[in-house]
């Protein structure tokens, strides 16, 4: 069943999304995103494209399939998609209802995505299905914290931010494991909140 | 501490500003007849919530980063509210003193977070 609530939430956020995210956060995270995406190789699925801010950190000459649940976000991303020195095929698609074949992709990349997927473990299982048996998952995510007072703050923020988009208290590393992946690397970038996660299928 | 000057200055600026504002807000709210413990608890919670709610915090987010701004300014709001709220119950403070104490709380908070972050960041040992 289509997740209209999530799609509508991100459709509403699309026109002003870059106001909050395009400058500070992207500039701050650029070195780590460039490092993570530098390993893009083979048949790649990128989830979720948003307004395409991550494209600036993609290495050139890759053939990338990107999805996003929000058609309005994809509209906003179009100029960045067109400007990419490589190929990006974009589909409006919910991670819970991927229409790709089983074992289609060598690698899956996410960027600040699983803070917003309503059923993160099911979403990750869906990604596993479309990944090859030895496929790799590369994630740049913000998560909840295990340390006081940061964990308290993430809990306080979540009811507010949930209405606008992301949740701040997700246990994404645990969710990756729960979905059946083998986590191979967790790299903390800011406290234990902003991190990269690498896992294999 | 971010080794890029732009972000290091931004972190300091955001936390000094929010700390000073929460210090002044605490000065406006708390009276010198208040119970010290009550004042500390109330103003630390209120300071944290206000730091998140300030439009100024969102401005700093848009310019300097998301979590790297929001989390420290919430810590700053909590500490600034707690310290100024407590201080007023034991000693009369002027507007300027409350502002400067709040500002100092902002500097203290971001310094502590830089130290904590330097210990937490990097590749983690997996269970």
Question: Which tens digit of pLDDT belongs to each residue from A31-50?
Answer: 999 999 999 999 999 999 99
Q: What is the CATH number of the domain that holds A152?
A: 3.40.50.150
Which residues of B fall within a CB distance of 8 Å from A20? 58, 61-62, 66
Q: Is residue B123 part of a domain?
A: no
**Domain around A27:** 4-200
pLDDT of residue B58: 84
Q: Percentage of chain B with pLDDT > 90?
A: 84
Note the pLDDT tens digit of each residue in A134-161: 999 999 999 999 999 899 888 888 888 8
pLDDT of residue A165: 74
pLDDT of residue B123: 94
pLDDT of residue A20: 83
Which residues of B fall within a CB distance of 8 Å from A25? 61, 65-66
* Optimal mutation site among A26, A35, A112, A150, interface B, most CBs of chain B within 10 A: A150
A163 touches chain B (CB under 8 A): no
State yes or no: pLDDT of A104 exceeds 90: yes
Q: Percentage of chain A with pLDDT > 90?
A: 79
**Domain around B90:** 5-117
Is the CB of A185 less than 8 angstroms away from the CB of B116?
A: no
CA distance linking residue A85 with residue A46, whole number of Å: 16
* Optimal mutation site among B71, B82, B114, interface A, most CBs of chain A within 10 A: B71
State yes or no: pLDDT of A1 exceeds 70: no
Summarize the confidence of residues A189-199 as an average pLDDT: 96
Total count of domains within chain B: 1
Looking at every residue in chain A, the average pLDDT score rounds to: 93
State yes or no: pLDDT of A163 exceeds 80: no
B119 touches chain A (CB under 8 A): no
Q: Is residue B103 part of a domain?
A: yes
pLDDT of residue A191: 95
Total count of domains within chain A: 1
Minimal CA separation from B54 to chain A, in Å: 13
Minimal CA separation from A57 to chain B, in Å: 16
Summarize the confidence of residues A4-31 as an average pLDDT: 90
Rounded to whole angstroms, what are the CA distances from B58 to A29, B69, B85? 17, 9, 25
Q: Give the residue from A129, A46, A35, A38 showing the smallest Cα distance to A81.
A: A46
A32 touches chain B (CB under 8 A): no
Q: Is residue B127 part of a domain?
A: no
Binned at pLDDT 50, 70 and 90, residue B2 comes out as confident
Three-state DSSP string of A74-142 = HHHHHHHHHHCCCEEEEEECCHHHCCCCCCCEEEEEEECCCCCCCCHHHHHHHHHHHEEEEEEEEEEEE
pLDDT of residue A2: 64
Query: ipTM score of the complex?
Result: 0.89
Note the pLDDT tens digit of each residue in B25-47: 999 999 989 999 999 999 999 99
B63 touches chain A (CB under 8 A): yes
Looking at every residue in chain B, the average pLDDT score rounds to: 93
Whether the Cβ atoms of residue B88 and residue B27 lie closer than 8 Å to each other: yes
> Tokens standing for A83?
């400007």
Burial bucket for residue B75 (CB in 10 Å: 0-12, 13-18, 19+)? buried
Summarize the confidence of residues A53-74 as an average pLDDT: 96
Minimal CA separation from B122 to chain A, in Å: 5
Summarize the confidence of residues A156-182 as an average pLDDT: 89
Summarize the confidence of residues B69-93 as an average pLDDT: 95
């Amino acid at each position: 069943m289509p997740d209209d609530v999530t799609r509508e939430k991100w459709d509403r956020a699309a026109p002003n999304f870059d106001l909050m995210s395009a400058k500070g956060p992207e500039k701050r995270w650029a070195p780590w995103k460039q490092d993570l995406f530098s390993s893009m190789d083979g048949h790649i699925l990128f989830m979720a494209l948003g307004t395409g801010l991550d494209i600036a950190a993609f290495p050139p000459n890759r053939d990338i399939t990107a999805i996003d649940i929000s058609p309005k976000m994809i509209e906003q991303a179009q100029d960045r998609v067109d400007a990419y020195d490589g190929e990006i095929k974009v589909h409006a698609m919910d991670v819970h209802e991927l229409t790709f074949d089983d074992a289609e992709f060598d690698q899956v990349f996410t960027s600040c995505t699983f803070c917003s997927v309503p059923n993160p473990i099911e979403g990750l299982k869906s990604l596993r299905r479309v990944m090859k048996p030895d496929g790799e998952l590369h994630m740049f995510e913000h998560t909840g914290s295990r340390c006081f007072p940061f964990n308290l703050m993430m809990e306080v923020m979540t009811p507010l931010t949930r209405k606008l988009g992301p949740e701040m208290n997700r246990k994404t590393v645990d969710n990756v494991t729960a979905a059946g992946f083998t986590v191979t690397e967790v790299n903390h970038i800011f406290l234990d909140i902003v991190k990269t996660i690498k896992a294999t299928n | 501490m971010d080794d890029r000057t732009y972000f290091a200055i931004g972190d300091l600026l955001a936390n000094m500003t929010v700390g000073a504002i929460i210090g002044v807000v605490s000065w406006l709210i708390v009276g010198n007849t208040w119970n010290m413990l009550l004042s500390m608890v109330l103003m630390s919670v209120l300071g944290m919530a206000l730091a998140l709610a300030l439009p100024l915090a969102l401005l700093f987010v848009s310019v300097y980063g998301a979590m790297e701004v929001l989390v420290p300014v919430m810590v700053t709001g909590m500490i600034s509210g707690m310290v100024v709220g407590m201080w007023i119950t034991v000693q009369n403070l002027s507007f300027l003193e409350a502002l400067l104490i709040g500002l100092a709380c902002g500097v203290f908070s971001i310094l502590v977070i830089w130290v904590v972050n330097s210990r937490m960041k990097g590749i983690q040992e997996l269970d």
